[in-house]
Amino acid sequence: MSAAAGLAAPAGEASYPSLVDRGVLITGGASGIGAAMVEAFVRQGARVAFLDLQAAAGEALAAGLAAARHPPWFAACDLTEIDRLQAAIRDAEAAVGPLTVLVNNAANDQRHAVDSVTSADWDRAMAVNLKHQFFAAQAVRSGMRAAGGGAIVNFSSIAWQMGLPDLIAYTSAKAAVVGMTRSLAREYGGDGIRVNAIAPGAVLTERQLALWLDEARLADILARQCLHERLLADEVARLALFLAADDSRMITKQCFVIDAGLL
């Protein structure tokens, strides 16, 4: 049992005292890895705000965590509409206090045959997987500076390193996230803001299992991983906790792969 949050934590989850009462914003937090991170930060006693296009799922998640030390705040938001994103970030600050942790998680790995990709497909992929990450980071900088520092965790993917088929726009965006992370770490370091990225492997979320991973594909992935176990969203959430906490205070400008050795 987490003393900070009053909710049961999974076996093996560390406790990070520096996250207690800390203002945390998570994008794409209504499902999958995002939902696992919302729950993990709430269990740590953080003041969590999360944004997602999926209103019903977000509201249900928030309601399920209502007994926490700090019940999470949720707002439905299309992150590709930058003005609305920035307004939602201001609302989040008003709801949970100064934001000193930003987790840029929202993404969409829509498949397209390479010869069928249109200009609209490309622009949509950049908007969903890259553009909002920069503008969210830009929006929280002044508040983090005033607070004496903070941590930003961007989400990339090992897909760009693997050169997977039918994902050219997605992998291009996810490769760019790593470059953006390194540049932001340099730009923001003087404000005491650390910027890192996480590149997950084949995380078995409900979406992946429903759309892409049949039993044969899953068996192939598990065989190719060094660790022949299913990679779950909770494992990624634990890495995000570490990168947000003061325990990683001298780590910045890095991209951390969590893929059970698939690469």
pLDDT tens digit sequence for 84-111: 999 999 999 999 999 999 999 999 988 8
What is the per-residue pLDDT across 217-251, written as a single tens digit (0 to 9) for each?
899 999 999 999 999 999 999 999 999 999 999 99
Q: Where are the alpha helices (DSSP H) in the chain?
A: 32-43, 55-64, 82-96, 119-126, 132-147, 159-162, 168-188, 206-211, 215-224, 233-244
CATH class name, domain 17-258: alpha beta
Q: Using pLDDT thresholds of 50, 70 and 90, give the confidence band for residue 209.
A: low
Q: Is the pLDDT of residue 4 over 50?
A: no
Give the residue among 2, 130, 103 at the shortest CA–CA distance from 48.
Answer: 103
**Percent of residues, the chain, with pLDDT higher than 70:** 96
Residues 41 and 19 sit within 8 Å (Cβ to Cβ): yes
**Which active-site residues does the annotation give?**
170
**pLDDT at residue 139 in the model:** 98
Q: What is the rounded distance in angstroms from the CA atom of residue 94 to the CA atom of residue 233?
A: 29
Neighbours of 248 (CB within 10 A): 20
Q: Is the pLDDT of residue 6 over 70?
A: no
Q: What is the rounded distance in angstroms from the CA atom of residue 72 to the CA atom of residue 37?
A: 12
The mean pLDDT value for 187-213 works out to 88
What are 244's two structure tokens? 């947000």
Q: What is the mean pLDDT of the chain?
A: 94
Give the residue among 41, 178, 183 at the shortest CA–CA distance from 101.
Answer: 41
The mean pLDDT value for 130-134 works out to 98
Q: Which residues, 6 or more positions from 32, have their beta carbon under 8 angstroms from its beta carbon?
A: 203, 205, 206, 207, 233
Model pTM?
0.94
Backbone φ and ψ for 194, nearest 5 degrees, come out as: -90, 140
**pLDDT at residue 68 in the model:** 97
Q: Which residues, 6 or more positions from 49, have their beta carbon under 8 angstroms from its beta carbon?
A: 23, 24, 25, 26, 72, 73, 74, 75, 92, 95, 96, 99
What are 108's two structure tokens? 């969409």
Ordered by start, the domain boundaries in the chain are: 17-258
